[in-house]
Structures are given as structure tokens and as C-alpha cells.
Chain A
Amino acid sequence: MYDLRIVVEEVRGFCDLPLKPGDYVEVKGGRLHLPDGKFFCIWALQALMPMIPAKQRHIVEENDWLPDTQRMVCPDPDGQVIFRFERVPCGDSPAELGGAAARGGVSAQGAPRPAGRAEPPDRLLVSEPACSGCRACELACSFAHERIYSPETARIIVLKDEAAGLDRPSVCRQCGVARCVQACSEAALTRDPATHAVLVDAGRCSGCGACVEACPFGAVRLSTATGRPLICDLCGGTPACAEQCPTGAVVYGRAGKAAAGGGRS
């Protein structure tokens, strides 16, 4: 996978927005990012849109036009704004991931699969409407890892807004492309080949917090006790939180499939 930077290379006509040479928009995973105080043209964007997911992926088909196409033009004939796609390599290391991504193929799921798996791996699924807000998952997590009851060291926490009646379990979702892994300059984060969980090598970790910043879900915290990140390791494949959850708000499985663990009792 690649992140993209789409840059205005040249304005040959008259763009009344106006976009100017050097303006850009970035695509990181499934998100568009605009530089602070900048804007982007929605008419241009809709023309560019089909190219975005295509340019994010590594394509090996030799006769395809996509890999070699770098530029697109705004559909407004008066504007003649020319955009250039720049690819920024990203993603978990293909060597670690194995499977289709490592062989340079296109993963139909978007999420690279661990080697030897026919099915994509299970992940933790959470449901706000099902969550009673009891936080038993937090205790189950700390007990499974440290043999103590301590929300402070839990890898899963329930974010609550009591006045609005909202209870949202916050935990690592085992992203296909994990921003935390990418962000780690110490290579302290790796993926468990069996479960696809993000594992922390406490020996390598410097406690810099880059992974905390990188997580788009806010699901990574630094432990106040150790200064190291608290990231769900899926308990090696039998997550204690999902086992403990009495309402099915935390489930280990795939969306649309029967739960592999937890669930309503």
C-alpha cells in the first residue's frame, strides 16, 4: 500500500477557486488530509476519486495503464489544472506479512493476510449500542496480562459520556495497515503472524509515543506504570475481554460473521 500526495503541478487555464501550483491533498489509508488553512476543489476531487484507491495499491499487471499514469487534469475545460500523483510508500513490512502482499499482488480485502490463511484474521469488534458501560473488559484485560485488577494497565478501555448515555469500548482493531507499526522508528512493533495482533517489544521501545499519535482510533495509550504503549495483543488468540463481555459489545470475529468469542449469553 501507498499513501498519496496529489499536487497541483500546473495551472494552464483559469481556475476560479483558485487552486495554485503547489497546492496538495494527502491520502492516508482511507482518509483525506488537507494542509492547515487550505482547501481543495470538490469538482477536481470527484474526477480524481477513482484513481485514488488504484494508485494506493501496488499493481503488477504489466499491460495496465494505471501504474504509469502520473497525471490527471481537472474536468473544467477553462481551468486546465494538472494534478500529479506522488506515491509515499507505507504499510506494514511486506516481508513480515507474507501472503499476497509480499508477493506483490493485490489483496482483495485491502488488509494483508497472514501467511497461510485462507480467511482474513479475526479482529476485535466493538458495539456502542450493545455496551452497558460496565468496564469488566478492562479488568479482564489487566488480569489476563498482569494478574491484577487495574483499569490503568488495560489495553481496552470504555470511553463514557454518562450524560448522553454513550459507552464506547476503545481497543486496537488490528488495522490492515497499522499506522502505529509504521510510526515506530525503533521497529518495536510487529504483527503476530498467527493473529495479526500488534505486538510490543518492550526492549526495543523507547516510549516515544509515536504510536499513540499515529493510531487513528485513539486506541493506544502509554502505561503510566511502565511508559510503554498498551496495545491489545489479542491474548494470543483468545481475548479475555471478549470472553468477559456480558452483552456482546466486544466480540472477537469478523463483521458479518458469527462471533468467534464473547457474544450474548
Chain B
Amino acid sequence: MSHGPSGARPGGSAFAGGYAGRVLRVDLSRRTWRTEPLDPGAALRYIGGRGLNMDVLYREVAPGTPGLDPANRLIFGVGPLNGTLFPGAARFNVSAMSPQTGILGDSNAGGFFGPELKFAGYDQVILEGRATSPVYLLITEDGVQFRPAEHLRGLDVWATDAAVHAELRDDRAQVAVAGPAAEHGVKFAGIFANLVRAAARTGMGTVMAAKNVKAVAVRGRRPVTVADPDGFAKLLRGLTAEIKAHSEYQPRRELGTTRLVSALNALGALATRHYQTGRFEAASEVSGEALARRFRIKGKACFACPIPCSRFFRLTDGEFAGLASEGPEFEGLAGFTSRVGNTDLALGLKGVDLCNRYGMDVIGTSEVISFAMELRERGVISDAEADGLELTWGNGRTILALVEKIARREGFGDVLADGVRAAATRIGRGSEALAMHVKGLEFFQADPRGLKGYALGLAVSSRGGDHLRSEPSFEFTGDGPAGQRRFGAAEAAFRLEHKGKGRLVKHFEELCALSDGLNACKNTIVNMEVLDYEQAAEFLRAATGLAFDGAGVQRACERTVNLERLFNAREGLTRADDRLPDRFLNEPLPAGSGPSAGSVVELEPMLDEYYTTRGWDLTNGLPTPAKLTELGLEEEARQVGLKRAAD
């Protein structure tokens, strides 16, 4: 297959391949930058992306630093396989202290930005301080340009992307944008690349805007090399063949995550009218299948991915004729249909599109809207409080108006713009009990009562209520013998059972940490489980030449999860914070919820099993000295006052 000489490795880094070997540190206050070598020891300890970001975040952001303070860091990271043909290695992580939750903030997105950062020759970019006036950054292999962005102020994500591309005269640059919502200080504003690829969670866009950075453009012309090209190519052939032979491959090509609307609805676990029930009567009208049938133009994929699970759609008639975009994923689709009781697919797509253009998290946005609708239904608030908008389920005018108001922090939108926890505090009157969040972060469009492993994952997730920290999709398999073999309980393979879920979640949390460390896609690594730690180590050895082994890779993932727990412990979090809203613990899913009816989350026994499996203390939910020693986190633990094993 090859006809050329081996490509020479540029830059003279300490790595034989995979890693770029450079960290870019940008001081926004002084408008200076410098590069630092990536520490090979840190690479082995944390793999890349999320893990390395956490390492920097833990060391450099002091406890109690407010998310919007210039002392906060905003860290972009990619992994050692980004830029290669490793399937789905298209992502980047962005991390900071979250202005929304006050704890660990971290989010990642696919598309093309992450690989471009690697081609520019960086594994990580650390933004410090705050620019004195709005800027956007142009990052290339030669460093950073600070470019004025006064004229981009207030422009939406799409307009900013177009303006930056026009100024750079380079349509191959990749641009990550903070939209108007971030500029207005909406706490769940994300960072959007490729127009719709959102690092949406925990307010990373809000942090970027607070630093006066409107956009980060990246253009890279360096190659990514691997230490053992033949070995790496052989491993890739095997993995790609395995993915294409997987039973999930075809369904994911056709519908991607949007198939979850009908799949979860069938199970009675689709978040409907703010988790009041698990079945949406109009699910078939707003499903991924309906979207594909009515509006889909073609399949779309992230960089170098063999699964075109995304889609481009266009509306050709009706009120929103002309609306065309890539997307949405399941979270946006269900968020703007079943969660808010909307039966009009086109209107739902418009809602997602508005979030993308303003630069807001569809999960946070759909939670606060559906929260307000339930409050109104229960008589807690009136339409008058919502600036006269009729807060009835599925009211299209209200839904779209609220998105706009939130993005601009106008009127009632200002009440909702800090997230549901803050909104409930402001509204009071018992609304706190109906605020659906964990640790201040809203969560996904499935009802936790219908997926107990996911429920546990939400409760313990290091960034608050989020499914992508664990994604234990094994519990849908119904493969009891595998559950017994892998997690010590046949029940682990059944979504409505709670036994074995502590071990299940530990395993999948670490698999997610692997996926985020590689900045590759969870569709393949976590949902399809196509890569175990030994195989991951083989890829890492072939790519980097470093002495990765299977056990070491697993430990790096476990270390990441533990370090994140320490980060939150430093902010004062304990077991008491690993909880779910009362509804999921006390109110059974109603009779209309099909096979999930009658179910509640048995959280405490799952937590006990989880902490025990993790080697964490059952009373405070923090890593035990023995576990910290095993993972080499004694230094880090000292900062939270945890004792070392030897003490």
C-alpha cells in the first residue's frame, strides 16, 4: 500500500508518535503565549484529552475559584490518536471550573476541531487570565495570533463561524465559538465547533466568553505520525472490520442516536413532560425515524469516522421552511419534543437550531423550559410571571420565545438562564423539589427510573447529572450470564434491576474515561465495546512507542475518575451530594409507562455497591487511603485533607 519514504517527525518531541508533544499556554491578560513539552510521565498516567485536562485543572485551579474568575483555566485537550484513522478519534475535551455547578466542568465535542488542533502540533491548549477586550485566537503550528473581535460581539455561532472563516480566507480552519448566550452569561452556554458540534455541558462557553474570547480558530499543517505505522495500520484494519461487523453498525449508520426516541419510548423510559411519565403519545411523529423519512438529506460523520451517524436535514415547507442544518442528536430531538410535550417535529428542530445558534446546551435549555411548564401545571407559577407566555405543554410559541429570552437573559429568561437549580432557588415555593439536576447539572432525556445503571451513573458523575460519564448500555442487553460473569450479578444485564449496577457503573465509567482520554467516540468504545484495555494498550504502543500495557491503561482511567472525585471533594462534595431528585426515588413511573411502570430508583444499595467496588469510603464517598496509594494520588489527596495509607 505504501510507496513513499517514512515521513520525518517534525519538532523533535520526546514522543515517537501519537502525541504532538507540545502544550500551548496562552496568557490572555498579557497577550502572550509559550509552548511547553508534554510530560511523557503524565501521558502514561492520564493517556490524554480529559485525563490530562484534569491533571492540569487539579494542579492549577485553586479550590473555590469562581468559574468566571480570570484565575480559572480553560483547557482544550486532545488524545494521542486524534488525527490518525482511529475510528471516531475526532473529539476534543474542554475543561474548567464550572460557572454553572461550582464543581468540575468538562465537556467534549466531535467534528473536526480536535484533529485540527493536533495537526497544529498541540496536545493541549491552556487559556489563562482574561483578555482586556474581545479577541479571537488563531492557533497554528507557529503559535497564537490575538485578533480583535469587537466586531463579532453578539454574533451568533453561525455568523461568527462565517465571519472568522472569511477573515482567515481559509475554509479548512476549524473554529470553536462562544455564542451570544455565553456573552450574556447564560450558565449553560457551550463551545460550538463546526456550527453544531457542541461541547455543551457545564458552561464551558460561559467561561470562554468571560475570558473575552469569542472564538478559537485552529489551522494545522503538520502531520500526525505513529511509531509503528505497519503495526498501527494492522490494528486499525482489525478494529474497523470489527465495527463494521457489529450488530449496532447498521442501525447507527441509519439513525444514530435519534433512534433512542422510539427505542426509549417503547421501554417506557422516554423523559416526557418533565419526567412525569415515560411514554410520549406522539413519539412516532417526532422520532428519529420520522426525521429521517421527512427531512433527512444525507448522512454526516465526524473526522475519519466509519459511521455516518449524524445527518443533514432540510425543511422545505411550513413555518420553518428553509431551516437546514446538521443534527440533531437524541438529546436535542427529545429535549424539544417529549420533554416539553411538543408534538411538532419541525418546531422541535427549530428549537434545537436556536440553541445551536445562540450557543446553548439543549439539555439545560429543555430542562428549564419543561421545569417552568410543570411549575405552571402545578400552580406554582403563573403565565404572568413568564412575561405573559402561556406555559402549556407543547406550546410552540412559548418554547421558542423562552429559548430567545434565556439566550438574551430577558424577563423570565433571566430567571432560567443560570440553570434549573438556581432558577428553583429564585422561584422558591417548593419548586426546588421539581428541579431535575444532580449537583447543579441538568440531565438527559431518559427517565432514570427506567434505567437503573444510568440512574446510578447520573448520581455519581463527576460533572454532575450526566450520562456520558458512564453510559452503561450493557444493562439493555438482557444477557444474564454475561452480567454474572462480568459484574457478579445476572441482574447487571437488566435495566430495571439494581443489583450489580455498582460494578457495572465502575466499569463503564472507566471505559468512558478511556474514550475521553483518547478523545474517541463512545458509540464504538463504550456502546459497542469494541476496544478492551489490552487492545487500547496495543494501539497506544503502536502509536506512541510508550510502554503502555492493559493494566496500566485501566489504571489511568481509574485514576482519572478518582482525581475528578478529589477535585469535587476539594470543593466540599461528599456522598450526600451523590443523589437524585426525589421524584426518581419515591414516585413510581406511572401506569402509562409500559414495561417501566411502577419502577423507582433504589439508589442507596447501588451507591453502597459502587463505593465498595471503587475502594471508596461508604460514609463520605471519598477514595480510601489504600485506593489513593494504589493509584499514586497521595500528593493530590493531601490537598483535600485525606490521609495517605502510611499515615
A interface list, Cβ under 8 A from B: 129-136, 139-140, 142-153, 159-165, 167, 224, 233, 235-236, 238, 240, 244, 246-247, 265
Most chain-B CB neighbours within 10 Å: which of A135, A149, A153? A149
Besides A139-B304, A149-B224, A224-B221, 16 more A-B contacts (Cβ < 8 Å) are: A132-B300, A132-B310, A134-B301, A135-B112, A139-B85, A145-B4, A147-B7, A148-B7, A149-B83, A149-B84, A150-B119, A150-B224, A159-B171, A163-B161, A165-B297, A165-B324
CA distance A224 to B10 in the complex (A): 14
Nearest-neighbor residue (CB-CB) of A238 within chain B: B1
Q: How far is the CA of A235 from the CA of B162 in the complex (A)?
A: 36
Q: Smallest Cβ distance from A203 to chain B, in angstroms?
A: 15
Most chain B CB inside 10 Å of its own CB: which residue of A130, A148, A238:
A148
Do B304 and A265 touch (CB < 8 A)?
no
**Given A142-B223, A148-B224, A165-B298, A134-B7 contact (CB < 8 Å):** no
Contact: B221 with A152, CB < 8 Å?
Answer: yes
Binary A-proximity of B275-314 (CB < 8 A = 1, otherwise 0): 0000000000000000000000111111111111010101
Chain A neighbourhood of B85, CB < 8 A: 136, 139-140, 143, 149, 244
Smallest Cβ-Cβ distance to A127: which chain B residue:
B298
A159 (CB) vs chain B CBs: closest residue = B171
* Interface membership of B225, Cβ < 8 A: yes
Please name all residues of chain B whose beta carbon is closer than 8 Å to the beta carbon of A129 when the two chains form the complex. 297-298
Evaluate contact between A134 and B304: CB separation under 8 angstroms.
yes
In the complex, B619 has a CB within 8 A of chain A? no
Known: A132-B301, A146-B223, A265-B244. A163 touches B158 (CB 8 A): yes
Which residues of chain B in 300-337 are interfacial with respect to chain A, using CB atoms and an 8 Å cutoff?
Answer: 300-308, 310, 312, 314, 324-326
Residues of A within 8 A of B298 (CB): 129-132, 165
B149 at the interface (CB under 8 A from A): no
Residue pair A144, B2 in contact (C-beta under 8 Å)? yes
Q: Roughly how many angstroms separate A159 CA and B172 CA in the complex, as a whole number? A: 9
A–B complex contacts, Cβ < 8 Å, 15 sampled: A134-B303, A135-B303, A135-B304, A136-B304, A136-B306, A139-B84, A147-B2, A151-B119, A153-B223, A160-B171, A162-B195, A163-B161, A165-B300, A165-B324, A236-B3
Nearest A-chain residue to B241, judged by Cβ? A265
Q: Are A247 and B299 in contact (CB under 8 A)?
A: yes
Closest to B250 in A: A265
- Number of residue pairs across A and B with beta carbons under 8 Å? 116
**Which residues of B are found within 8 Å of A161, using beta-carbon distances?**
171
B6 close to A (CB within 8 Å): yes
Given contacts A148-B223, A163-B158, contact A132 B308 (CB under 8 A): yes
> Which residues from A are CB-within-8-Å of B158?
163
A-B pairs with lowest CB-CB distance, top 4: A165-B312, A150-B223, A148-B7, A132-B308
B233 at interface, CB cutoff 8 A? yes
Are B223 and A145 in contact (CB-based, < 8 A)? Answer: no
Give CA–CA (A162, B162) in the complex, Å.
10
Contacts of B1 in A (CB 8 A): 143-144, 235, 238, 240
Say if the beta carbon of B568 comes within 8 Å of chain A.
no
- Give the most central of B4, B84, B244: most A CB within 10 Å: B4
Complex CA–CA separation, A147 to B301 (angstroms)? 24
Q: Evaluate contact between A147 and B312: CB separation under 8 angstroms.
A: no
Question: B307 contacts which chain A residues (CB < 8 A)?
Answer: 246
Nearest Cβ distance between residue A101 and chain B, in whole angstroms? 28
CB-nearest residue of chain B relative to A137? Answer: B304
CB nearest neighbor in B for A128: B298
Q: Please report the C-alpha to C-alpha distance between residue A265 and residue B250 in the assembled complex, in whole angstroms.
A: 10
Q: How far is the CB of B186 from chain A (nearest CB, A)?
A: 23
Q: Which residues 1-16 of B have a CB within 8 angstroms of A?
A: 1-7
The answer on a CB contact under 8 Å between A149 and B225 is yes
A145 and B3 alpha carbons, distance in the complex (Å):
5
How long is the Cα–Cα vector from A153 to B299 in the complex, in angstroms?
26
B229 within 8 A of A: yes
**A140 to chain B: closest residue by CB:** B85
A139 to chain B, nearest CB (A): 5
B2 engages A246 (CB within 8 Å): no
Most chain B CB inside 10 Å of its own CB: which residue of A143, A150, A167, A233: A143
Contact A134 B302 (CB under 8 A): yes
Q: Does B194 contact A (CB under 8 A)?
A: yes
Taking the nearest CB of chain A, how far is it from the CB of B177, in angstroms?
A: 12
Shortest Cβ distance from B329 into chain A, in angstroms?
15
CB neighbours (8 Å) of B310 from chain A are: 132
**Partner of A162 from B6, B7, B194 at Cβ < 8 Å:** B194
B301 near A133 with CB under 8 A, answer: yes
| Given A132-B301, A151-B119, A163 and B306 contact (CB-CB distance below 8 Å) | no
Whole-angstrom CA separation of A130 from B324 in the bound complex? 18
Give min CB distance, B115 to chain A, whole Å.
9
Contact string against A for B residues 140-170, beta-carbon threshold 8 Å, 1 for contact and 0 otherwise: 0000000000000000001001100000000
| CB of B222 closer than 8 Å to a CB of A | yes
- Complex Cα spacing A151 to B82, Å: 13
Q: Shortest beta-carbon distance, B114 to chain A, in Å?
A: 13
A134 & B297 in contact (Cβ 8 Å cutoff): no
Q: CA of A131 to CA of B299 in the docked complex: distance in angstroms?
A: 8
Please give, as numbers and ranges, the residues of chain A lying within 8 Å of B301 by CB-CB distance: 132-134, 246
On chain B, the residues within 8 Å of A246 by CB distance are 244, 301, 306-308
A144/B303 contact (C-beta < 8 A), A130-B298, A163-B158, A224-B221 known: no
Give the residue name and chain of the A residue nearest to B309 (CB): A132
Establish whether residues A146 and B7, one from each chain, have CB atoms under 8 Å apart when the complex forms: yes
Chain A residues, Cβ within 8 Å of B226: 149
The answer on a CB contact under 8 Å between B3 and A235 is yes
Q: Which residues of A contact B326 (CB under 8 A)?
A: 162, 165
Is A148 a contact partner of B3 (Cβ separation < 8 A)?
no
Nearest CB in chain A: distance from B297 CB, A: 6
Q: How far is the CB of B321 from chain A (nearest CB, A)?
A: 16
CA distance A255 to B639 in the complex (A): 67
Which residues of chain B come closer than 8 Å to A236, judged between CB atoms? 3
Contact B3 A150 (CB under 8 A): no
Q: How far is the CA of A235 from the CA of B4 in the complex (A)?
A: 11
Residue among A143, A150, A152, A164 making CB contact with B229, cutoff 8 Å: A143
- Whether the Cβ atoms of B6 and A147 lie closer than 8 Å is yes
Report the Cα distance A130→B221, complex, angstroms.
27
Q: Which residue of B lies closest to A151 (CB)?
A: B119
B305, A146: Cβ atoms under 8 Å? no
Q: Is the CB of B4 within 8 A of A147?
A: yes
Task: Name the A residues within 8 Å of B225 (CB-CB).
Answer: 147-149
Taking a contact as CB atoms under 8 Å apart, the answer to whether B3 and A133 are in contact is: no
Chain B: minimal CB distance from A169 (Å): 13
Residues on B with C-beta less than 8 A from A265 are: 244
Contacts of A148 in B (CB 8 A): 7, 223-225, 229
Chain B residues closer than 8 Å to A163, beta-carbon distance: 158, 161-162, 195
In the bound assembly, the distance between CA atoms of A236 and B303 in angstroms comes to 26
Closest to A157 in B: B172
Smallest CB–CB gap between B345 and chain A, Å? Answer: 18
* Residues of chain B contacted by A147 (CB below 8 angstroms): 2, 4-7, 225, 229
